[in-house]
């Protein structure tokens, strides 16, 4: 009998160890201005904070278990959010969302529609999450559009950043390489609305195949992630409005030149959506930034890619530890984000 109990305890421990970190921690909501933002706060409360900001139309789930658990295993406090108009955060249902192709055509001729909100607004949302948790400084990490938001955040709120890590992102400079046509088409397909669940599941797997890492793509992994994302909800018009915010941000060269926090820029050698020169250019425009090209990486964070990202990121942070406290000279109230109110719910 005792052997059976010990065996059951061992199996239970293995199950707990294998459980996704996204399922082990509750989902919280905070109101920044008039916008409700969903976030999760994982790991030790006294751990060095890391803020993860995801990309276009993506949810916090897209960071993946491998990267998030890797950070937790190294003792970091990991904070993630769903950007506005995505995941469980507030949707702007009443605002217009023209097709991606029409937005791009108008942008090409200098007639891009005015965005519903800006990357600065989205950076303020992220700062509001830090405020809700009483976190003064964090390692700011962004992927793709999230990297653009992270760039804006550390430029506009430098006292909030220990470091910046910009992953598979861009400066927005107009002379940089265009996305491959098939990658751009895949991106646009992610904004479709009205699909049946199986159609959307198939579409998301196809997107992952086209823009992801050719060496590390796994249909099983892509399917599992897509199912988890769809279980939380999908909202195509939000992707369009976020895309408009990217276009309106334009060339951020001048902004990048002002960034004074230690910066690491990571980019995939096989990225079909934002080719490698986007990462190199970003690093060149941020003073003293360090650049690393990730072999085999496309425009996604598959488990093996996440391990390679961690192998670059963790040593960089260890060289630049932060106490998480504001210095006296940086204590000025420069945040645009109003003081938030917060609630929490159990993860679905």
SS (H, E, C) 84-99: CCCCCCCCCCCCCCCC
pLDDT on residue 249:
92
| Mean pLDDT, range 107-121, rounded to an integer | 76
pLDDT on residue 22:
97
0.85 surpassed by pTM:
yes
154-186 pLDDT per residue, tens = 999 999 999 999 999 999 999 999 999 999 999
Which residues are within 8 A (CB) of 67 and not within 5 positions of it... i.e. 6 or more apart?
301, 306, 309, 310
pLDDT on residue 180:
96
342 SS3 class: strand
Contact (CB, 8 A) for 104 and 97: no
The single-letter DSSP state of residue 274 is S
| Domain 22-345 CATH superfamily | Alpha/Beta hydrolase fold, catalytic domain (3.40.50.1820)
289-331 pLDDT per residue, tens = 999 999 999 999 999 999 999 999 999 999 987 643 433 334 3
* Of the listed ranges 34-43, 44-53, 101-110, 274-283, the one predicted with least confidence: 101-110
Helices (H), 196-301: 197-211, 219-232, 236-249, 253-257, 276-285
- The two structure tokens encoding residue 161: 């950043």
* Of the listed ranges 17-21, 147-151, 200-204, 243-247, the one predicted with least confidence: 17-21
Rounded to whole angstroms, how far apart are CA atoms 30 and 126?
10
Rounded to whole angstroms, how far apart are CA atoms 55 and 286?
20
pLDDT on residue 338:
45
Contact (CB, 8 A) for 294 and 268: yes
């Amino acid at each position: 009998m005792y052997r059976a109990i010990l065996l059951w305890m061992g199996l239970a421990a293995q199950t707990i160890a294998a459980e996704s970190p996204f399922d082990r921690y509750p989902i919280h909501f905070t109101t920044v201005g008039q916008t409700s933002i969903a976030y999760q706060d994982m790991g030790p409360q006294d751990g060095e904070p890391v803020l993860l900001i995801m990309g276009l139309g993506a949810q916090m789930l897209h960071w993946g278990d491998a990267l998030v658990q890797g950070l937790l295993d190294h003792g970091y406090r990991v904070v993630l959010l769903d950007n506005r108009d995505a995941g469980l955060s507030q949707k702007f249902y009443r605002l217009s969302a023209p097709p991606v192709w029409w937005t791009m055509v108008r942008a090409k001729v200098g007639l891009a529609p005015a965005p519903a909100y800006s990357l600065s607004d989205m950076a303020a949302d992220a700062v509001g999450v830090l405020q809700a948790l009483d976190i003064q400084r964090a390692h700011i990490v962004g992927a793709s559009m999230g990297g653009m938001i992270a760039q804006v955040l550390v430029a506009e709120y430098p006292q909030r950043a220990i470091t910046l890590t910009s992953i598979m992102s861009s400066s927005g400079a107009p002379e940089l390489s265009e996305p491959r046509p098939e990658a751009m088409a895949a991106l646009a397909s992610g904004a479709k609305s009205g699909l049946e669940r199986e159609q959307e599941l198939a579409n998301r797997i196809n997107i992952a195949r086209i823009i992801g890492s050719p060496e590390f793509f796994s249909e099983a992994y892509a399917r599992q992630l897509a199912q988890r994302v769809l279980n939380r909800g999908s909202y195509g018009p939000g992707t369009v409005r976020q895309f408009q915010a990217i276009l309106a941000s334009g060339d951020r060269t001048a902004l990048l030149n002002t960034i004074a926090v230690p910066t690491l820029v990571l980019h995939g050698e096989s990225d079909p959506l934002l080719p490698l020169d986007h990462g190199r250019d970003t690093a060149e425009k941020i003073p003293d930034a360090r650049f690393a090209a990730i072999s085999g990486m496309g425009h996604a964070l598959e488990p093996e890619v996440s391990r390679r990202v961690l192998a670059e990121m963790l040593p960089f942070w260890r060289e630049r530890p932060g106490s998480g406290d504001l210095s006296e000279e940086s204590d000025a109230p420069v945040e645009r984000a109003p003081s938030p109110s917060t609630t929490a719910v159990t993860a679905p």
